[in-house]
Amino acid sequence: MNKILIIDASDSDCRLMSGLLTRAGYEPIAVENLEAAKDEVEKLPPGAVIVTAMKFTRGTAQELINWQKREGYRFPVIAIVDNLNPNDLLELMRSGGTVDAIQRPAIDKQLVETVQKYIMDIESVSHDNELIHRPSKEFQRIEREITRIAAADANVIIFGESGMGKEQIAREIFRQSNRTDKPLIVIEAGGAALVGEHKPDSEKSEMYNRIGGYFKKAARGTIILKNVHLLNFDKQSVVLHILSEDHPDVRVICTAEPELLEMVSDKSFRSNLFFNLREMDITVKPLRKVTEDIEPVAEFYLMQYAKEHNEPEKNLDQSAVKALNKHDWPGNIRELKNVIQLAAGNVVGNLITSSDLSISRSSPDIPDTMRLRDPKVEKQRIADALTQTSGNITQAAKLLGISRTTLTYKIKKSGLKSDLK
């Protein structure tokens, strides 16, 4: 299912576009500001498309396009224009930014048709759906767990930090299972695919029908529910009802960040749903804990880049390998991929040195004193990180070595939210 990122400050138009794209078989993700858009772009798989208003909360389409270029992303951008100004649009298209435009009054008529022109076949481009095999004992353990769990036909939760390839592990479990010839549905728990009004006293609410619809489509197959910790309480209730009352013949494989366990403890995630979903589990260690995998993964992405661009494969010299091993990788494999592909695209010649690696721009090295290892000082370190980044949650999360989602949850839990501007 191809993902479409929607960036627009209009709630009504976001709902309209999400509905149109969902019915057309896509998975829309809707945000309203530049920082949230950047977070989502970093997570987009190959084959995705961006649909953006020319101006939105705290940002513009041009700012997003410029950032995407700097970071090495190449997702097609379709602009939503209120008044079609040929000169403004031509300037954006000349800069290599937008590939097309939709007039806002014609969204219902033009959106799906325009997106279809630029969507790419996921299977033809998505190396990201495949596990990257690597030599560490940790990865060998994961491979054994995948084989064991695939044969068990139980619901699974895959725990791990953002960027560690949890979806790839989920897909590999599906490929090795006895359901591999049956439907596979992939859903983002925090995305627009599950948006809908929920009335607890009515089993036929919009949310119930939407979520139940995915289970019907996946009959006798598998649902991968990504980032299950992002389900709000209403969605949790609906999923629990479907699993416990409807008893669908569907295997559910979830991915989750580590804070899900905290959420169960503090009752912000329903324990009965948690135990329904976690009949088995896998925990994936972050890249900084498995440093022997850094170089092989980097070499994999160099090989992938060379194939995709029909170029000679680039190589890492010793200074580059040393710099990669020294970095803490708060964004894990996703961050490593971005750094390597950016270097491969910009280096002159075929040898990448440490000076060609934009590690400092990908995310800052995390001082050991900033890591959230001690719950007793967690609140103060979060406050310090927010102060250092002037309240920018994305940058504070990078400084702390956690995802934006995790930090947002911890801010709310610690009561710091009222202190933020």
Least confident of 105-114, 190-199, 369-378: 369-378
User: Is the pLDDT reported for residue 155 higher than 90?
Assistant: yes
Q: What is the pLDDT of residue 363?
A: 44
User: Is the pLDDT reported for residue 55 higher than 70?
Assistant: yes
pTM of the model: 0.62
Residues 160, 229, single domain; the answer is yes
CATH number at residue 304: 1.10.8.60
Average pLDDT, integer, range 79-85: 75
Distances (CA, A) of 20 to 111, 192, 247: 8, 11, 30
Residues 320, 357, single domain; the answer is yes
User: Is the pLDDT reported for residue 11 higher than 90?
Assistant: no
Residues 11, 107, single domain; the answer is yes
**Domain edge (last residue) among 283, 307, 340:** 283
Average pLDDT, integer, range 161-180: 91
Long-range residue pairs from 164-167, CB within 8 A, at least 24 positions apart, any chain: 164/284, 164/285, 164/286, 164/287, 164/332, 164/333, 165/131, 165/132, 165/284, 165/333, 166/226, 166/255, 166/256, 166/284, 167/129, 167/224, 167/226, 167/255
User: Is the pLDDT reported for residue 166 higher than 70?
Assistant: yes
CATH number at residue 261: 3.40.50.300
User: Is the pLDDT reported for residue 399 higher than 90?
Assistant: no
Q: What is the pLDDT of residues 317-363, one digit of tens each?
A: 999 999 999 998 988 998 899 899 889 988 989 999 999 998 854 44
Residues 220, 311, single domain; the answer is no
d(CA 383, CA 385): 5
Q: Confirm whether 271 is domain-assigned.
A: yes
Please tell me the total count of domains within the chain.
4
User: Is the pLDDT reported for residue 28 higher than 70?
Assistant: yes
**Domain edge (last residue) among 249, 266, 283:** 283
Residues 148, 224, single domain; the answer is yes
Least confident of 39-43, 65-69, 299-303, 365-369: 365-369
Q: What is the pLDDT of residues 212-248, one digit of tens each?
A: 888 988 889 999 999 999 888 888 999 999 999 888 9
Residues 327, 380, single domain; the answer is no
Give me the percent of the chain exceeding a pLDDT of 70: 83
**Contact present, 57 and 37 (Cβ < 8 Å):** no
Which residue shows structure tokens 């002159």?
A: 348
Got the DSSP string for 82-128?
Answer: SS--HHHHHHHHHTT-EEEEEEGGGHHHHHHHHHHHH---HHHH-GG
User: Is the pLDDT reported for residue 420 higher than 50?
Assistant: no
Q: Confirm whether 248 is domain-assigned.
A: yes
Average pLDDT, integer, range 126-154: 86
Q: How many CA atoms lie within 13 A of 170 on its CB side?
A: 28
Residues 200, 217, single domain; the answer is yes
**Domain edge (last residue) among 249, 283, 317:** 283
Q: Confirm whether 130 is domain-assigned.
A: no
CATH number at residue 47: 3.40.50.2300
Mean pLDDT score across all residues of the chain: 83
Average pLDDT, integer, range 150-165: 93
Q: Which domain holds residue 260?
A: 136-283
Q: What is the pLDDT of residues 65-77, one digit of tens each?
A: 888 877 777 788 8
Residues 148, 276, single domain; the answer is yes
Residues 176, 310, single domain; the answer is no
Q: What is the pLDDT of residues 376-395, one digit of tens each?
A: 567 787 888 888 777 777 77
User: Is the pLDDT reported for residue 130 higher than 80?
Assistant: no
Average pLDDT, integer, range 173-179: 92
Residues 237, 162, single domain; the answer is yes
Residues 301, 272, single domain; the answer is no
Q: What is the pLDDT of residue 86?
A: 56
Q: Confirm whether 197 is domain-assigned.
A: yes
Residues 244, 273, single domain; the answer is yes
Q: What is the pLDDT of residue 233?
A: 87
CATH number at residue 404: 1.10.10
Query: What phi-psi label fits residue 248: left (phi over 0), alpha (psi between -120 and 50 degrees) or beta?
Result: beta
Sign of CA dihedral 221, 227, 228, 232: negative
User: Is the pLDDT reported for residue 95 higher than 70?
Assistant: no
